[in-house]
Amino acid sequence: MANDYGKEAPLSYNKYLRVPELIDLQTCLSSPVHHDELLFITVHQAYELWFKQILHEIDAAVVSMKEDRIAEAVQAMRRVGEIEKLLISQIHILETMTPFGFSGFATN
């Protein structure tokens, strides 16, 4: 994107990560909106992003193994292990939601 001087504007954090579009994806669908619905959506969307990263790392590990780059394959799989630890710790956030809070939007 060019600025007023015809030069390319530096790529910002928000533009690079498409933060406005990302934030728009956390749309509550229940009516009326329930407080815990945003938590449920946010945690599960984060899980989906981490699952995508896990698949990316496993694919990289397979390529590295086929090319006899064992250290790179091990590093990719270590990263998968760390992501899995993160995913396990995230489940505790959902445990702060009561069954009543969940049923407020899940049954609509």
How far is Cα 73 from Cα 22, in angstroms, rounded to an integer?
A: 31
In a domain, 67, yes or no: yes
Between CA 82 and CA 50 the distance in angstroms is 11
10-46 pLDDT, tens digit each:
999 999 999 999 999 999 999 888 999 999 999 999 9
5-16 pLDDT, tens digit per residue, is: 667 889 999 999
Between CA 81 and CA 65 the distance in angstroms is 17
Whether 40 is in a domain gets the answer yes
Q: What is the pTM for the complete model shown?
A: 0.83
pLDDT tens digits along 49-93: 999 999 999 999 999 999 999 999 999 999 999 999 999 999 999
Range of the domain at 93: 13-106
Residue 17 lies in a domain: yes
Instruction: Look at the chain and report how many structural domains it folds into.
Output: 1
Looking at residue 7, what is its pLDDT?
77
- The verdict on residue 5 lying in a domain is no
Question: Considering the domain boundaries, does residue 99 fall inside one?
Answer: yes
- pLDDT, residue 108, reads 61
Domain presence at residue 52: yes
